[in-house]
Structure 1
Amino acid sequence: MGLRRKLLVSIGLILAILLVLLYLATSVILMSSFSNLEEQLVLQDVNRALRVLETEVLELNRLLRDWAAWDETYAFIETGHPSYVAQNLDDAVFANLRLNLMIFVRYPDQILYSKAFDPQGNRPAEIPRGLYAYLTPESALFNLPHPDSSVAGILPLPEGPLLVAAQPVLTSRYQGPVHGALIFGRFLSAAELARLSQMIHLNIDVRAYDDPSLPSDFQEVRSSLTREKPLVVQTPGANSVAGYALIADLLGRPALITRVVATRDIYYAGQAAQNYIFLSLLAIGLVFGEATLILMDRLVISRLSNLSTSVTRIRTSGDLTERMAESGKDE
């Protein structure tokens, strides 16, 4: 193998090894950074979804305050007069407030009046049977003896997740004594989730924590979600990334898992950047290698070739007085 070829192979191997090492280093650093950025943005989206759910609960609680601290409601709890129902609890009220149920409680243990409504179907409905387990005198929804008592949160009913709020019934001046309580409920239905998703421009899905028919990706993350680690990010598919969050019920028990799905635009942007970097390194390596070969050829190989030619000529001629031609001022 000639000197030029040996030099070409050596430089090529060195450049190839350097390119591979640089590519691996940039791949680890770059893709790790893009993956971390993707995870952070997904977690931000999950927190946005949690905040909008919390806002819905707070809004329901504020709406309830207007009805619970009202002289007419206070009088209704005391007297049970049907005129209150006729004047204030028609279907249009439920539709306008997007409420699924109202329950009026008279202490110590009487459900004075209850009504359920389906705002999507615009028709009366039944009080969900799963709610009755929470309507006992000892329950948090029922037992509100003080004027400043209040509970609000989410209940994972068999009929679906229910946003619920309960407050003691007071006069319009927020005074007692407390003779009962008022409960509002709003199902977190598909229509409600679609409305919330549109509000924050995210794809929100909510499932019951103990649902035996959970989708496979929910089942995979369920064991990873705890009070200490309520947020998890997974990649259920090559083109999507999802964030999951654990939501507790009124009693602090695991109740729901919410999921936000996003496309992997950031990750694929990182892959594109990685490919651009590799092509740039390859181009730079080829230019550097070509320049190195040209310089080596002019500064070293060509002179060694001339030296070899001169030595051969002198040996062939046998004239030891002949001198080799010199070029340049270096060695």
Structure 2
Amino acid sequence: MKLREKTILTILILLIIILASISIFVSSVSMASYSALEQRYVMQDVNQAVNRLSDEYISLTSIVVDWAAWDDTYAFVNGQKPDYVSTNLLPVAYNNLRVNLVVMTNAHGQIVFAGLYDLSNQTMLAVPESLSRELTPSNPLLSMANPSATTTGILMLDGKPYIVASRPIVHSDYSGTPTGVVIIGRYLGTNEVAYLATLTKPNLHFIPVDDPSFPPEFLPALAPGQNRSEEVAIPLNSSDIAGYALIRDVNGRGVLALEVMESREIYQQGITTTLQYVFIVLGSGLLFGLAILFMVDRFVLFRISHLSQQVHDIDRDAVLSRRLDSSGSDEFSDLSTVINHMLETIEKFHDGLAQSEARFRELAELLPQTIFEMDLQGTLTYVNHAGQEAFGITPEKIQNRVSVREYLIPEDIERMQRGLAHVLSGAKSSGEVYHLKKLDGTLMSAIIYTGPITQYGTVSGFRGSVIDVTERVKLEEELRESEEKYRALTENTPDILFSANMNGIITYVSPQVNKFGFLEEEV
């Protein structure tokens, strides 16, 4: 992959990573903020509904105080005022007070009166049997320890929730020992929930915690404890969120879950806003990235590519006289100028080398000795005119990679390899005598001198000369044979032969002198 492609790919990958990181970070932070804001608004509505329920407790408290601190009530629970019920607890009283349940007990906790009224149908109903089971001595509603204290809470009767308030029965002037309690209750039904929802949300519900429809996984979130609250907001899906508050009965048991259901408008708006922001970031980042890519490509990568192409064209065409475009005043222009200076230097060296090579060729062609060049494997790459005539080496043979081994006798090939290895080790060629096969089939005795051809600090082959010593070798052999014949003649003749120089000094005496008692060394 070229530098231009690598750079563009790297910038694109980095741009994608940066934009993805920014988008993920912004989305996480933004959606977390919107989710927190959504939950805060839901919890405000839940708190408002809980406060509204507390107002109902206060409303019932004011009612039960009027009925408990009354001499007629005091007398009724003590067996007096037999017309108390028919006079005071008519259906109209239930309607006016907007209550459903009225219970009065004596000092022993026994129910003296219990009435249940249906406000919707405006009819009296039978009191549930569970009422007597709930009103045990331990029930806080029957507490008379503090005559001026009111007990409020939720009372479950046959699975139905009632908002209740109880107060000890005393005289109208709040004097006297409590002689029982008055319990006033309001059924937490559809009408009452709708009434409570008028100040909060129309989607307010009270769900018994043991109702199968109530998700059991929400209960741990409502359980009191460290870092926990009895109020929680839980997203149900992408379009709805519910806020819950745990409502306890008079005994402190969690019996109801106040539910406020709302649509996730804030969250949906958060998604829309976040997506818009992410799209803006992506679009801006993409435009910014493309602008960077364009500038980097235009002012850097294109210049590098153009400079590389110019150098490649010079190398391909082998025209060292060509120069690079060095227009401009940036680093690439400086680099082009430096390369042009380098090309000028290379051109000068190339011209000098070409001239030196030409002189070498001309001189080699004029020499009567064979001049040759070969690579490290012994393949001939050049032979001068004298060598071509002597050995019949044509340019076609050189082009077809003829080997020098074809012109050596087999006995000399191994010796040649040792000599070349000796030269490669840095030693000088000693000029050994080899026997070469000439064009006419005769053998030439020649002294071959070789030296290494070095290019860029590396040996690429050998250059050498071949000196024909065939006649000299032949004369030396004839002289040696003549000397051997002369020595054989002098050693076999019975006469004593000697030679002396101009000064009369004997320089040679034949071995026959030993017969006369003289030694050759003494003579």
Q: Which whole-Å CA distance do the structure 1 matches of 2:268 and 2:199 have between them?
A: 27
Match of 2:279 in 1: 279
Q: Does 1:16 align with 2:16?
A: yes
Match of 1:214 in 2: 212
Match of 2:134 in 1: 134
In the TM superposition, what is the alpha-carbon distance from 1:118 to its structure 2 partner?
Answer: 0.6
Q: Which whole-Å CA distance do the structure 2 matches of 1:146 and 1:10 have between them?
A: 81
In the TM superposition, what is the alpha-carbon distance from 1:319 to its structure 2 partner?
Answer: 5.6
Match of 2:223 in 1: 226
Match of 2:248 in 1: 248
Match of 2:30 in 1: 30
Name the SS of the counterpart of 1:252 in structure 2: coil
Q: Is residue 169–residue 179 contact of structure 1 (8 Å, CA) maintained in 2?
A: yes
Q: Which whole-Å CA distance do the structure 1 matches of 2:109 and 2:231 have between them?
A: 39
Match of 2:290 in 1: 290
In the TM superposition, what is the alpha-carbon distance from 1:233 to its structure 2 partner?
Answer: 3.0
Structure 1 residues 18, 55: closer, same or farther in 2, change over 3 A? same
Match of 1:61 in 2: 61
In the TM superposition, what is the alpha-carbon distance from 1:188 to its structure 2 partner?
Answer: 0.7
TM-score, structure 1 as length reference = 0.88
Match of 2:267 in 1: 267
Match of 1:178 in 2: 178
In the TM superposition, what is the alpha-carbon distance from 1:236 to its structure 2 partner?
Answer: 2.6
Structure 1 residues 184, 312: closer, same or farther in 2, change over 3 A? closer
Match of 1:238 in 2: 238
Match of 2:154 in 1: 154
Match of 2:329 in 1: 329
Q: Is residue 169–residue 181 contact of structure 2 (8 Å, CA) maintained in 1?
A: yes
Provide Cα deviations, 1:24-67, integer angstroms capped at 9, x if missing partner: 22222222222222223322322222222222112111111122
Q: Which whole-Å CA distance do the structure 2 matches of 1:325 and 1:145 have between them?
A: 108
In structure 1, give the amino acid aligned to 2:114. S
TM-score, structure 2 as length reference = 0.57
Structure 1 residues 3, 143: closer, same or farther in 2, change over 3 A? closer
Match of 1:108 in 2: 108
In the TM superposition, what is the alpha-carbon distance from 1:244 to its structure 2 partner?
Answer: 2.0
Match of 1:87 in 2: 87
Q: Which whole-Å CA distance do the structure 1 matches of 2:69 and 2:177 have between them?
A: 12
In structure 1, give the amino acid aligned to 2:218. V
Q: Which whole-Å CA distance do the structure 2 matches of 1:39 and 1:189 have between them?
A: 27
Q: Which whole-Å CA distance do the structure 2 matches of 1:76 and 1:196 have between them?
A: 34
In the TM superposition, what is the alpha-carbon distance from 1:110 to its structure 2 partner?
Answer: 4.0
Q: Which whole-Å CA distance do the structure 1 matches of 2:264 and 2:18 have between them?
A: 31
Provide Cα deviations, 1:167-219, integer angstroms capped at 9, x if missing partner: 1122222212322321111111122112111221252221223x3x42152x2
Structure 1 residues 317, 150: closer, same or farther in 2, change over 3 A? closer
Name the SS of the counterpart of 2:172 in structure 1: coil
In structure 1, give the amino acid aligned to 2:21. L
Provide Cα deviations, 1:244-298, integer angstroms capped at 9, x if missing partner: 2222211212222222211112222222222112211221122112212332233
In structure 2, give the amino acid aligned to 1:265. E
Q: Does 1:47 align with 2:47?
A: yes
Name the SS of the counterpart of 1:176 in structure 2: coil
Name the SS of the counterpart of 1:200 in structure 2: coil
Superposed, which structure 2 residues align to 1:292-331 within 5 Å?
A: 292-308=292-308, 310-311=310-311, 316=317, 318=319, 320=321, 323-331=323-331
Q: Is residue 128–residue 159 contact of structure 1 (8 Å, CA) maintained in 2?
A: no
In the TM superposition, what is the alpha-carbon distance from 1:141 to its structure 2 partner?
Answer: 2.4
In the TM superposition, what is the alpha-carbon distance from 1:161 to its structure 2 partner?
Answer: 0.7
In structure 2, give the amino acid aligned to 1:222. L
In structure 2, give the amino acid aligned to 1:307. L
Q: Which whole-Å CA distance do the structure 1 matches of 2:148 and 2:160 have between them?
A: 29
In the TM superposition, what is the alpha-carbon distance from 1:303 to its structure 2 partner?
Answer: 3.0
Q: Which whole-Å CA distance do the structure 2 matches of 1:151 and 1:231 have between them?
A: 23
Structure 1 residues 54, 304: closer, same or farther in 2, change over 3 A? same
In structure 2, give the amino acid aligned to 1:126. A
Match of 2:397 in 1: none
Q: Which whole-Å CA distance do the structure 2 matches of 1:21 and 1:45 have between them?
A: 36
Name the SS of the counterpart of 2:328 in structure 1: coil
Match of 2:499 in 1: none
Return 170-179 or 118-127, whichever deviates more: 170-179
Q: Which whole-Å CA distance do the structure 2 matches of 1:182 and 1:313 have between them?
A: 110
Name the SS of the counterpart of 2:99 in structure 1: coil
Structure 1 residues 158, 318: closer, same or farther in 2, change over 3 A? same
Name the SS of the counterpart of 2:198 in structure 1: helix
Q: Is residue 130–residue 159 contact of structure 1 (8 Å, CA) maintained in 2?
A: no
Name the SS of the counterpart of 2:61 in structure 1: helix
Name the SS of the counterpart of 1:171 in structure 2: coil
In structure 1, give the amino acid aligned to 2:105. V
Which of 1 and 2 has greater Rg? 2
Q: Which whole-Å CA distance do the structure 2 matches of 1:143 and 1:297 have between them?
A: 88
Return 197-206 or 300-309, whichever deviates more: 300-309
Runs of 4+ off more than 6 Å: none
Q: Which whole-Å CA distance do the structure 2 matches of 1:109 and 1:293 have between them?
A: 89
**Structure 1 unmatched ranges of 5 or more:** none
In structure 1, give the amino acid aligned to 2:319. G
Match of 1:99 in 2: 99
In the TM superposition, what is the alpha-carbon distance from 1:4 to its structure 2 partner?
Answer: 4.8
Provide Cα deviations, 1:55-109, integer angstroms capped at 9, x if missing partner: 2112111111122122333333345323332332211110121111212223234
Q: Which whole-Å CA distance do the structure 1 matches of 2:301 and 2:310 have between them?
A: 14
Q: Is residue 57–residue 152 contact of structure 1 (8 Å, CA) maintained in 2?
A: yes
More RCO (CA 8 Å, sep 6+)? 1
Q: Is residue 45–residue 202 contact of structure 1 (8 Å, CA) maintained in 2?
A: no
Structure 1 residues 302, 166: closer, same or farther in 2, change over 3 A? closer
Q: Which whole-Å CA distance do the structure 1 matches of 2:206 and 2:172 have between them?
A: 37
